[in-house]
Amino acid sequence: MASTALPVKTPGVGTGRMSRREVLQALSGLMVGMFVAVVASTVVANALPRIVADLNGTQTVYTWIVTAELLAMTATVPLWGKMADLYSKKLLIQLSLGLFVAGSLIAGFSPNVEVLVVSRVVQGVGAGGMTALATIVMAAMIPPRELGRYAGIFGAVFGVATIAGPLIGGVLVDTSWLGWRWCFLIGVPFSLLSIVLLQRTLHLPVTRRKVRIDWLGALLITAGVCTMLIWSSLAGNKFAWASGWTALLVGGGLVLLALAVLVESRAAEPIVPLSIFRNRTVSLATIASTLVGVAMIGGTVFLSQYFQISLGQSPTVAGLMSLPMILGLLVSSTVAGQLITKYGRWKRYLLTGGVVMTLGMVLLSTIDAHTNRLLLGTYMAVLGIGVGLLMQNLVLAAQNDVPAQELGATTSALTFFRSMGAAIGVSALGAVLANRVASLTAKKLGPLAAGAGEGGSTEVPDLSALPEPVLRVVRDVYGIATAELFLVGAPFALLSLVAVLFIREKPLHTLSGSERLAQEEAAGAPPTR
């Protein structure tokens, strides 16, 4: 495909390496966009109990409000990544932000849970673009040897956004003249600001290739992933894990994914080039990223519910209680990035992250409705430190070990599988939580547990309407069930450590992605490793 690549220079912009000032200016718009995408995911965390109660939703709906965005983001990330290898990255980022604005507006004015779930899908498509493209653009501008320093800034923005999200959401929900709808509307001006900043500051050479996107492959991947996620969300609630519906959905999902692999193996420009998985680093980093998604995101998304229902905290206080984990992530990500840039060594941080994340999951599996707040904060900080050492550095390791012409596909593949792991984790663990809450409530309250035997159809409880004896039981039940989620997630964290053990450390490149691509095109584009 190198012979059909047509470099298009942006007027007034050289093809040499961008200066530090130029990089920071471009990153300003990029980071605002990432800030918006992360806040969108976290701002609803403390608002969800109130949203579901106001719209008369159920525990299953609670899960789907989160899962819908993850599902859309997961399914579209490979397509965004592929388009980044073919078209203008700048235009694609602005398009993704535009979709995000549309989804946010729909969510802010949702009259019912059905419209809200649809709006989250639109938000997810836009967030999928930002999630994939932000890292791709950074790799295009910055050499891997220096990327650690900027990845630290990236981690800092991620941490601040994650901290700000629950806090903003809690304050908005607790402010009567604002309410939960502003949890979605507040991101609109930030998204528009990001579009303007990127238009003015982001200048990259554009390489256009005269190829057709593999839309059939994209459709099959999306259908297969969606089918598997629908099964993981409903199994154990709407039907038994071992049932005809399970056989139908799992079988259908596997057939669709098998067809996707077949189509991708024959496509001239596949959405997810299977050849990249011949690279050992990419394959192992992909496995580790998927497991991190299942373990960390699948478990922690329910912590806000635990804070509010089991510990009886307000949305604002629940947001403050998430600070230890986010600060742990922020510090570890920033410090590790600086050290990687200084010394050029990165595997030690992956190994340490795997060990610490697994420890954090095990510690959090011991919590209940009476856990000491200081002890709980310590456990969360441990988990945050582990995740901060792992997530961004897995991407760095993979980007460093592939040809520049495959940076987009490789980065999006890792993001795709991490998001898929997160979506599966949220769906499956959400089903486990709903089932355990229903069964434990029925066991402890007997006939007083109205609707508890409906396996996940029980509405999220309104604590203010419960008598004191029932309230104590409900709080205990949610504490037990949440701890079990981390116990289920701990083996996945351990497996991610095993995958990292087999990654070979290689010296970091000193050229940016754009510079490496220019070299590859001049040399005739080396074959995929």
DSSP line for 173-222: HH-TTT-TTHHHHTHHHHHHHHHHHHHHH----EEEE-----HHHHHHHH
| Number of CB atoms found within 10 A of residue 446's CB | 9
pLDDT of 162-200, one tens digit each? Answer: 667 777 877 888 777 788 888 888 888 888 888 888 887
Residue 456 is which amino acid?
A: G
| Confidence at residue 359, expressed as pLDDT on a 0 to 100 scale | 94
Contact 239, 231 (CB under 8 A): no
The alpha-carbon radius of gyration of the chain (Å, integer) is 23
Alpha carbons 325 and 110: distance in angstroms, whole number: 31
| Of residues 341, 329, 339, 345, the one with CA closest to residue 389 | 329
| Confidence at residue 162, expressed as pLDDT on a 0 to 100 scale | 63
Residue 66 is which amino acid?
A: V
| Mean pLDDT, rounded, of the chain | 78
Among 39-43, 208-212, 419-423, which stretch is predicted with the lowest mean pLDDT? 208-212
Q: Which residue has the tokens 């079988």?
A: 251
Q: HSE on the CB side for 224, CA within 13 Å? A: 16
| Of residues 150, 524, 485, the one with CA closest to residue 310 | 485
Burial 308-336 (b: 16+ CB within 10 A, else e): bbbbebebbebbbbbbbbbbbbbbbbbbb
- Provide mean pLDDT across the span 380-409: 83
Helix (H) or strand (E) holding 6: strand 5-8
Q: Which residue has the higher pLDDT, 384 or 523?
A: 384
Contact 328, 149 (CB under 8 A): no
Contact 281, 397 (CB under 8 A): yes
| Confidence at residue 524, expressed as pLDDT on a 0 to 100 scale | 63
- Provide mean pLDDT across the span 337-366: 89
| Confidence at residue 279, expressed as pLDDT on a 0 to 100 scale | 86
- Provide mean pLDDT across the span 114-125: 87
Contact 186, 331 (CB under 8 A): no
DSSP state of 181: T
Alpha carbons 363 and 355: distance in angstroms, whole number: 12
- 61 backbone dihedrals φ, ψ, rounded to 5°: -65, -40
Instruction: Decide if pLDDT at 452 tops 60.
Output: no
Among 187-191, 206-210, 404-408, which stretch is predicted with the lowest mean pLDDT? 206-210
* 269 contact partners, CB below 8 Å, separation of at least 6: 1, 82, 86, 209, 211, 212, 213, 214
With a pLDDT cut of 90, the percent of the chain lying above it is 11
- Tokens standing for residue 306: 């635990």
- 228 backbone dihedrals φ, ψ, rounded to 5°: -65, -35
| Number of CB atoms found within 10 A of residue 495's CB | 19
- Provide mean pLDDT across the span 292-319: 77
Supply the angle between the helices 144-174 and 373-399 in degrees, to the nearest 10: 140
